[in-house]
């Protein structure tokens, strides 16, 4: 298969050296080497991430003066202002809970997606002024808030910005900016999310106070945000997510417990990505992100139950609306174009990003989904495909746009309705020229070609300890050739689309498998086929068995 690409395999002598140190199977050593784990010490840190290896927060530009400013503001009121997504709401809740413990007078503010849009709004500054706030700390937003920060300064309200988004040519005139991506910041790890930066702030502040606490109790917030914001799970992120997941599993917050009840087994990164994260995001998409902060800081179980029920209702509504918009958007796809740019009347702005991602699953191209903000303005979300910098392409179209922001793979934008056709054709032309008039093709990378005999329960347990998985440390994908179905297919799920059965390789080794989206290929399949898959342990009635999750298959003719 031309679009199935095996990762680079390292030299045999390096592999054998690592195998000698670790005393584990060759193929697991290969997986580790592909993740730059090439020594016993690195393996120890990889399998048991050490919280003491987190970088010194004072390496971050402005950290010392920001901490001193907060220390000197204890007799004044501070407002924490966060974005309405998982990263922003968890950051806000974490700072609020920490500084409450430290005895500060606090407010928190989450902007309304529909009335204010993303970031620091004039309405937020007015709210701070009315409530006699003297310092605003932004989280997961603010790095482009030039005018709002000037407005805040004019009202004698100073601003500290904690943000991980790329700064523009000009940065706001804030008292201090915590952002590893800003110029002259020598902090060694640049890929923290907003909540990760907020965590560095509280760990720095914690060293300044006489009543210091164990700040690791807040790593559950960082895990939720880092995973949901799809940050690379390497370096500090891996350490914080590893320990944050332990907090969630050992002592979950009252506000999260209702979400966790519906999940079987241990909470891992995939359960946050597909179960908890979307629920948290639903509030900001459908109503207000403030309800999530209310929920995450709540200590009364009855109030928390009521709030989580409200969030669940919003999530169900989000799913219903999302399906409707996806169906309408798909009808606008033109397979001859190099981009998907669709626009609909009355589409809910809160689901546009999800819809763009769904369209890419069906039509693999840079995708923009737009709807009207008012009679004159269109608002949209942008999502890209592997290795294509959609933010740069938007920058090339900036004269046609009123506003845009984001990063390589995801962005947002606003434009005049009257410019829609001009922008649509301009963006299409830029993308088409960028890729040399070659249509985008989805490719699938896999770690190793192996046979099923390698997949013992003991080896799978070692692979599971390589978690948390995500960008920078993806769940291993294996390839096995010349497979056959070896048992009657079973169909599960609401629409009977999930397939379970037994599969065997060419050496007659048999394993269970599950497949979520290839029913039409598997039904009646008699000829040999190759598969790409992940591997898990299925525990049923106290018995552990190896189970494959088939991702792709290639049927031999």
Q: 197 with 225: CB under 8 angstroms?
A: no
Cα–Cα distance for residue pair 98/94, rounded to 1 Å: 6
Average pLDDT over residues 73-84: 96
Q: Mean pLDDT score of the chain, rounded to an integer?
A: 94
Cα–Cα distance for residue pair 451/278, rounded to 1 Å: 36
Place of tokens 């909470």: 267
What domains appear along the chain, each with residue ranges and CATH number?
4-48+444-555 (2.40.50.460), 57-313 (3.90.1640.30), 332-434 (3.10.310.30)
Pairing mode, if any, of strands 77-82 and 135-139?
parallel
Q: At what angle do helices 301-330 and 277-286 cross, to 10 degrees?
A: 80
Q: 547 with 535: CB under 8 angstroms?
A: yes
State in Å, rounded, how far the first CA of the chain is from the last one.
Answer: 13
pLDDT at 69: 97
79 to 62, 95, 138, 223: CA distances (angstroms): 19, 10, 8, 24
pLDDT at 495: 85
Confidence at 285, pLDDT banded by 50, 70, 90:
confident
- Identify which of 512, 502, 509 has the alpha carbon closest to the alpha carbon of residue 547: 512
Place of tokens 């640049």: 190
The lowest-confidence range among 1-15, 200-214, 386-400, 495-509 is: 1-15
Run of H or E residues at 135: strand 135-139
Cα–Cα distance for residue pair 190/197, rounded to 1 Å: 10
514-547 in b/e burial notation, b at 16+ Cβ within 10 A?
bbeebbebbeebeeebbbbbbbbeeeeeeeeebb
pLDDT at 539: 84
Q: What is the pLDDT of residues 188-238, one digit of tens each?
A: 999 999 999 999 999 999 998 888 999 999 999 999 999 999 899 999 999
Paired tokens of 448: 């190793």
Average pLDDT over residues 378-393: 94
Q: What is the pLDDT of residues 417-445, one digit of tens each?
A: 999 999 999 999 999 999 998 899 999 99
Average pLDDT over residues 330-356: 95
pLDDT at 119: 87
pLDDT at 243: 98
Q: What is the pLDDT of residues 303-323, one digit of tens each?
A: 999 999 999 999 999 999 999
Alpha helix positions (H), 74-211: 86-101, 122-130, 146-154, 194-208
Statement: residue 122 has pLDDT above 70: yes
β-sheet bridge partners, residue 379: 371, 414
Q: 182 with 197: CB under 8 angstroms?
A: no
Q: Is 286 left (phi over 0), alpha (psi -120 to 50) or beta?
A: alpha
How much is the pTM?
0.92
Cα–Cα distance for residue pair 194/407, rounded to 1 Å: 14
Q: What is the pLDDT of residues 240-250, one digit of tens each?
A: 999 999 999 99
Task: Give yes or no for a cis peptide into 348 (omega within 30° of 0).
Answer: no
Q: 161 with 179: CB under 8 angstroms?
A: yes
Statement: residue 1 has pLDDT above 70: no
Percent of the chain with pLDDT over 70: 100
């Amino acid at each position: 298969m031309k679009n199935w690409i095996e990762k680079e395999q390292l030299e045999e002598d390096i592999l054998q050296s690592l195998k000698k140190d670790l005393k584990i199977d060759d193929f697991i050593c290969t997986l580790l080497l592909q993740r730059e784990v090439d020594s016993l010490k690195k393996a120890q840190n990889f399998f048991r991430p050490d919280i003491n290896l987190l970088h010194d927060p004072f390496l971050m530009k402005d950290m010392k003066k920001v901490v001193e400013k907060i220390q000197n503001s204890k007799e004044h009121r501070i407002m924490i202002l966060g974005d309405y997504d998982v990263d922003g709401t968890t950051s806000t809740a974490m700072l609020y809970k920490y500084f409450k413990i430290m005895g500060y007078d606090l407010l928190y503010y989450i902007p309304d997606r529909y009335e204010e849009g993303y970031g620091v709004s004039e309405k937020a500054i007015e709210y701070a002024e009315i409530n006699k706030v003297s310092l605003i700390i932004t989280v997961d937003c603010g790095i482009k808030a030039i005018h709002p920060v000037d407005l805040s300064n004019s009202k004698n309200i100073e601003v500290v910005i904690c943000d991980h988004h790329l700064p523009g040519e000009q940065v706001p005139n804030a008292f201090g900016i915590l952002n590893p991506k800003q110029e002259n910041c020598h902090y060694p790890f640049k890929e923290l999310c907003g909540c990760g930066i907020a965590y560095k702030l509280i760990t720095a502040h914690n060293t300044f106070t006489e009543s210091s606490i164990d700040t690791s109790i807040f790593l559950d917030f960082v895990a939720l945000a880092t995973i949901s914001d799809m940050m690379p799970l390497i370096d500090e992120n891996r350490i914080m997510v590893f320990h944050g997941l332990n907090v969630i599993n050992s002592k979950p917050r009252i506000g999260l417990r209702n979400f966790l009840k519906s999940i079987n087994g241990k909470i891992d990164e995939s359960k946050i990505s597909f179960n908890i994260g979307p629920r948290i995001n639903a509030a900001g998409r459908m109503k207000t992100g403030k309800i999530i902060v209310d929920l995450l800081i709540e200590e009364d179980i009855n109030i928390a139950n009521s709030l989580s029920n409200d969030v669940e209702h919003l999530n169900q509504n989000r799913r219903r609306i999302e399906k409707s918009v996806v169906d309408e958007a798909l009808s606008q796809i033109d397979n001859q174009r190099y981009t998907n740019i669709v626009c609909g009347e009355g589409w809910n702005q809160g689901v546009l990003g999800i819809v763009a991602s769904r369209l890419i699953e069906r039509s693999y191209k840079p995708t923009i989904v737009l709807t009207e903000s008012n009679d004159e303005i269109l608002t949209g979300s942008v999502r890209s495909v592997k290795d294509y910098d959609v933010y740069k392409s938007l920058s090339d179209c900036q004269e046609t746009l009123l506003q845009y922001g984001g990063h390589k793979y995801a962005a947002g934008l606003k434009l005049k309705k009257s410019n829609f056709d001009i922008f649509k054709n301009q963006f299409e032309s830029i993308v088409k020229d960028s890729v040399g008039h070659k249509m985008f093709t989805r490719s699938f990378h896999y770690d190793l070609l192996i046979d099923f005999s390698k997949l013992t329960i003991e080896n799978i347990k070692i692979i599971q300890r390589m978690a948390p998985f995500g960008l920078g440390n993806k769940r291993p994908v294996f390839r096995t050739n010349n497979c056959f179905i070896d048992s009657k297919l079973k169909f599960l799920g609401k629409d009977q689309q999930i397939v379970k059965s037994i599969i065997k390789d060419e050496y007659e080794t048999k394993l269970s498998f599950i497949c979520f989206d290839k029913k039409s290929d598997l039904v009646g399949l008699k000829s040999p086929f190759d598969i790409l898959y992940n591997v898990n342990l299925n525990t049923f009635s106290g018995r552990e068995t190896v189970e494959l999750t088939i991702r792709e298959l290639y049927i031999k003719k």
